[in-house]
Chains A and B, each alone.
Chain A
Amino acid sequence: MIASNGIRKTYGTHVALQGLTLQIPEGSIFGLLGPNGSGKTTFIRILTQILVPDSGTLTLDGKPLNPAHRLQMGYLPEERGLYRKMKVQDQLLYLLSLKGMSAAEAKSQSAYWLERMGLADRARSKVQELSKGMQQKVQFIATIAHTPRLLILDEPFSGLDPINSQLLQEVMEEYRAKGRTVLFSTHRMEQVEELCDHIALINKGHLLLNDRMEAVQDRYRTDRYRFQTLEVLSAEEVAALPAQVVSHQGRALELRPLPGQDARQLIAHVNAHHTLTACAQYVPPLKDIFVQLVQQKGEPAHA
């Protein structure tokens, strides 16, 4: 859906993005990851046409990005902001009608979303009377209620409690189920693993990784397997296993098959001699992959 090609942006002498090339497929939840100051927000601002890149192109459905495309996007900026003295409902009606909705549409959509977000009774409150989390939900409604094709959320989870995080996650998944696209940025990697289909990792304006989630996991999966047994194994029993022992602690074992052996044989062996309660291949968390990638800095990004 979105293709960025060699996007470069500098602020004075500081290079925020050094030629970012990535694709955002339609109907996916796309995670834009990177530490603070990596260029996530700059990329998002270029995508929302707030900023103009120094060079490079962005296309939506193969057409260069133009102002009309903005109506197809919903954008939740990292720095949240609403008119503090305006009532929630008036504010939503205003922001939604700026997105091209008719008054009636805006009214029914904002009513639906206020209900959904548990804010129906606050429609007549002024924004400044709401808690920060509530304000954030109001702003999220303003982002999504005009059902944009592309939802762009900059750090959407920051400042939300677990219940509201869950709610937001559900809405994002529901959005994908309807074939729409969600792009969100975060520096918290755990969420990404459960939510994203695609990810892009950027650091200091460089793209480190841009791929499907499973592909990333495939690429970084190891030959280590984690076992859980019912019995606590003794050091001798562990040593007797036909495998290289990575770690052993009580019931938990981490083993690597011996050269020439495959995982199936190892699992069968453990299962035959002990009561196996769990077994999984160890896939390093994104956080570790990320740290690893950042440390190998200078390597060309794999797109």
Chain B
Amino acid sequence: MNGNRKAVYIAGIGIISPLGCGLDATELALRKNNSVIAPLNVFTTKQSPALPVGQIREIPGISSLPRTHQLGIVAAKQAMEGYALAPDAVIIGTTTGGILTTEGLLASGEKNSEKYSRHGLTTVAEEIAQQVGCSGQALTVSTACSSGTVAISMALKMLQSGQAEWVLAGGTDSLCRLTYFGFHSLQLVDPEGSKPFDVNRKGMSVAEGAALLLLTTEKPQHPLGRILGSGLSCDAHHPAAPHPEGKGAASAMLKALNNSRLEPADIDYINLHGTGTPDNDLAESKAVRSVFHNSLPVSSIKGATGHGLAASGAIESAIAAICLQKDFLPANTGCREPDPDCKVSPVLQPENQPVAAVLSNSFGFGGNNACLVISKTDCSHVHVSGNRNAPLTILGKACMTGVGHTKESMAAFLGKETMAGILDLKTVSDKLPARKVRRLKRFSRIALALAAAAHEDSGREQAPHSVFMGSGWGALSETYDFLDKLQKSNEQFPSPIDFVGSVHNSAAGQIAIMHKATGANITSSGGDYSFEQALLAADSFLEMDADKESASAFVLAADEGHPQFSPLFDPSIEPATPLADGGGGFYLCKKAMPGKLSVRLCHYEEQTDTSPESLIAALGGKDTLQLNCGTILAGIPAAWSSVGEEYLKNFTKASGLDIPIIHYRKFTGEFASASAVAAVMAVYLLETGEVNPDKKILVLGFGKNVTAMEFACQ
């Protein structure tokens, strides 16, 4: 079922960065070509002298929200200016969430979990959605420094396929101790401030900021540009260093061109990732040279702003729009003597010259590469695309719970016994190569074990091409240990290993390395709906090559139970709640295979009241439900028990369904990725004939959001 792929316009832009607030201030600063990188003063450190960073002097408005949220809201309001509508979805790339606030609370010994309620990455997207009146999907991607670009890529797919008409997407990150000391511990910070592509460059400058793009398929009166295409790839090479030849980066650039139906010669300017680290700039220039001719104007703005991490790709997309609007090329601020080894020609002074199409590069930890092509509005192309929201075929499954791997977990489930608990780390890792996982802590080990088991269960030699990972809370052990060591050593000895492991996408990066998965690699973080968000991302990005063997992916979700952090962060875990963790997921492909089981995400919406009409409609209506549906697995997180139960009651009453309902959290225990285990439970029930395989199983989530996954035989 192919259809026309819709054109996606930029209707509004919000930007706040160390360069200033708003497009005009940003353009003015870029034309001045001065670096605004200066010694840190956003928070105090015991380190002297403070390292140079890119920081925002003043955030408009007064707010008690964490800094990342505040920056995102400023950008969101600017982007929405002049539009009375509410976007259909909000997609935010972030790596820091509420961590700066959390760091202060932890240092003061705060034990009240309510104070930590904005720690989670998902709260940034939720807060922004609320501020702009969006009651649709509020999604979060966390792929380190490519997050903002990946968020815009996801919005692009959603809009092109007709799933939404208006999407607000971009990235936001604030400075915090984790990133400030973390990059320093990796010796990646230039003590003089970053000067990308300069022969004497010594590293990056950590920065902060936010940019959001209001994107639409309805041509606005004054469009600011078009997003033509995107390309994602994974190096599958190293957790923190780029592939030395820039192999993954080149692949993402080519995919973005291909996706935009452009040739390399059609690009007028590349906004480079250009962090200023010796390795990044060298690898990126090799990648650029392998795709483009040498004289193409290129520049990195990170010598002016610093590296805004998850925000950087969105900030640079906004700057790409300025380039197109004003026929202007920003300079590679800070570069005095271009590195002859790089063999690219950075723009050394701001220039005015015609620009019709810009390529914007973003790369991150975990070997995550994302590129966007942004063009003037009059660029016209007609494309076709595959169908979205079609069922994904399940080739292999795996789960892990407190009682063991898939086999032990399912045996407990069938025996009506609890699976809840914390599996000892030795059993978690018993099938993983000890040497390769020695640096990894609990979260990454659970995820790696799930990927290996799902691959094994598929019986296929070939591992999947892409990785879509969900996690409510990410690498809690590494985050805790990093901050703990930092504090205990009087801010002197943070651990580089813990910093690299602390990023949300560390597990997905490790899976890519272990399984040589060089396709798209996205980590989503949506609280109790992280698995559903990962499924949604897979659905968006697997569409392009539906018939190819490469259109296959791991779709997994995992969370670790952490004695200190879990009760503080997860509202469903009280201090007295026994800790539970684990996860689950599949080896999936887009190609339909008769006889195989499939999964489809039918519904994902914010829960605004307890009327079930939209859920019933999304599941095909009352009659279809009664005819096809055999079992329900319902997930109601403890923090949402009363409203969740009421919703479920209303749903069964209005749909007239009289079928078994299994409350799966009673088996799995309370943790954010429990729905991933439930998904595997559903497949297990159908495969083993424990339920009628001709009927569908629904895995429903009721709480902050209302979600539905449908499992059926094809």
- Are both chains from one complex? no
